[in-house]
Structures are given as structure tokens and as C-alpha cells.
Amino acid sequence: MQSYIIHPESNQFTVFREMPGFCVEHHEIDKDVNKQYLLCGIIVKSNGLILGRVAVYKNPFHKVEDTPVISLGYYESINDQTVADLLFERASDLAKLYNCTSIIGPINGSTWKNYRYQTGGVSDPFFLEYKSPEYYLALWRNSDFTALAHYLSERIDLDQSVRKINTDAYYLRTGIRVRGVNIDSFESDLTQIGVLSLDSFRQNFLYSPIGILDFKEMYLRITDWIDPNLVLVAEDEGEVVGYIFAVRNYNDTSQKGVIIKTLARSNNTKYRGLGSVLSAQLIDYARSVDYDYVINAYFHSDNLSNNTSKKFNAKPYKEYELLTKTV
């Protein structure tokens, strides 16, 4: 059993990219290997068979306490600690080569792509959720990875206990107009949404910029699954200042559920509270058309989305961790 480095420019990189995977990906929008900031791929082989892989990234925007780190993504492996250890040992050697003292993961190059592992809560994946085998987390932890950041998904049951917010008063006071996204001009809306996202998320942990075309492509791939009533755009004098992107949980065949994937607003203090107002409007709509629940997905445990979730009597649903290891 031996580990090998494969560079992205090599003809052999196809071997890394096309390795049979173990992860369950539901209508995945992160299908191919992200090559931005990619240093190389590492594979472990035995008797001609690939038993595991990991992609190694040097994203200049990825720093922990102002110290550069190496990021690991696209991890796939059989349930064998020796395979995992070989992958991580080789990655640690590369980190030292680039004067990095720690490696983090799983993160597919940037937080615009798939990252983190589920550590608790409901096991069934919701629509568009990346689901890895449970033993992956154990393999990483047994290789001395510990938690770097914690994330949550929470569930809001749409019964009468859900708090109602006077959205009309907020819109009247601020002059904001809210509309559903127009599928016929969705690409145009995505341009403005992308510009806002780049500004709104720039202070987020491990944020790195993304090209507007790449941002749009992530969402254009799932256009057929979008309900315009679940994607709300807030405008002030024609400028997009906030949005909420939600989609039906098509994986759930027993109940009707909505998943809030993204919630963002302008950093201008004029729009303080807009996130809660957009959430309230979405929840009111979902309840009016007989949805059973809303999932507020993937927010950092310290994020303001947590405050929004608390306003609507949200309950814990899933927990996730991003991991780190000193090298």
C-alpha cells in the first residue's frame, strides 16, 4: 500500500477525478473537482486498486488566526485507518513544505463548495445535501483531527407557535420592495445576487471570493428545481439589498418541507433586520400553502442566522464540524 501525488496538469489526474466515490450526493451542484487553488491530488493504491484520495489546496484566503493553512477536500476512502493515515501523512508533508502548521477539512477548495462533516442529528439527507459515509468522520478524528468550527441546521415546524413579524411595517419604513425571483430572467437576477453575496459574506470565516460566472453556474444547474415563490429578492430603488434562497425538500416524501439554503443582506446598517423579515415572509408563504416545516440550513454557530432561527422557535436538527490538525 503506497501513496502517490498527482498534479492537476498531469494526464493521470483523470484517475483521481474519476475514482469511484462513496459519498451520497443528491442533485449535487459541486460535481467536478474544483481546480482553483488546487496543489495536487493524493491517492493511495494497493495491488493496482485506488483505495482512497484527497485533494490538497493552498487557498491564500484560508487562514486560521492569521496563519495560512492547507485545505483538504474531495476525500474518498474505504473504511481503513491505514489508508486514511497515509493520505493525511502525505498531506501533512506538503503543508510543511509550504510552511503551514495546520491542515483543515473537509473543504472542496472554498466555502462556496461542499465542506464540513455531519456530527449529529437526523441522518437522512435533505435535498441538495452532501452526505458522506459516517465512518469518514471517525477516520479523520482517529488521525488526530479536532473541531475547528461548528455549524447547525435547525427545523421550524409551521404550527401556530411560530412567531409572526409585521413585514409590511418594515417595508413601509425602509422603502424596500420584495419580489419572487423571475425564472425567465433568473440569470440576470443571479448577477445582482452574486454581487451582493460577495459583499455580504466577505467577513465570514474562511471566505474567499468567487467569480460571478462561477457563482451563477452553481445555481443555474438547479433551475428546474426552483420555486420562484421560495426565492425572495429585496430591492431598494432597483438595487438588490437582500435575498433568501430556499428550495423544497424533494427528498422528503412524507411531509412538505422547505430548506433555506442562503440568506444574505447588504452590510449597510439601513438594512438591519432584513434577514429576519425575509425569513418571516418566506415562513408565512410556506405555511399558507401547507408546508409542514422549514429547515434553516448550514449556519455557523456564531452566525446571525442563529438569531433569526431563535425568533421562530427553531429546534436542533443537524450538527456539523470543520476539522483541523496540527502538523
All structural domains of the chain with their residue ranges: 2-151, 163-311
Residue range 102-161, pLDDT digits in tens: 999 999 999 999 999 999 999 999 999 988 899 999 999 999 999 999 999 999 999 866
Residue 168 pLDDT level (bands cut at 50, 70, 90): confident
Residue 154 CA to residue 1 CA, distance in Å, equals: 42
Average pLDDT (67-85) is 96
DSSP tag of 168: H
Superfamily of domain 2-151: Gcn5-related N-acetyltransferase (GNAT) (3.40.630.30)
- The whole-number pLDDT of residue 163 equals 66
**C-alpha cell, 37:** 487553488
CA 226, 227, 228 angle in degrees (round to 5)? 105
- The whole-number pLDDT of residue 306 equals 53
* Residue matched to cell numbers 422528503: 252
Average pLDDT (83-87) is 97
DSSP 206-275: T-----HHHHHHHHHTTGGG--GGGEEEEEETTEEEEEEEEEE-TT-SSS-EEEEEEEEE-SSGGGTTHH
Domains 2-151 and 163-311 share a fold: yes
- The whole-number pLDDT of residue 22 equals 66
- The whole-number pLDDT of residue 308 equals 61
- The whole-number pLDDT of residue 26 equals 42
- The whole-number pLDDT of residue 15 equals 84
Give me the chain's average pLDDT, please. Answer: 91
**C-alpha cell, 179:** 419580489
Residue 274 pLDDT level (bands cut at 50, 70, 90): very high
Q: Is residue 193 scored above 70 in pLDDT?
A: yes
Residue 327 CA to residue 316 CA, distance in Å, equals: 34
> Cα dist. 267→127, 213, 244, 270 in Å?
29, 23, 15, 8
Give the phi and the psi of residue 148 in degrees, each rounded to 5.
-100, -40
Residue range 314-327, pLDDT digits in tens: 899 999 999 999 99
pTM of the model: 0.91
Residue 29 pLDDT level (bands cut at 50, 70, 90): very low
- The whole-number pLDDT of residue 303 equals 67
- The whole-number pLDDT of residue 301 equals 82
The architecture (CATH level 2) of 163-311 comes to 3-Layer(aba) Sandwich (3.40)
Give the phi and the psi of residue 191 in degrees, each rounded to 5.
-60, -50
DSSP tag of 58: -
Q: Is residue 165 scored above 80 in pLDDT?
A: no
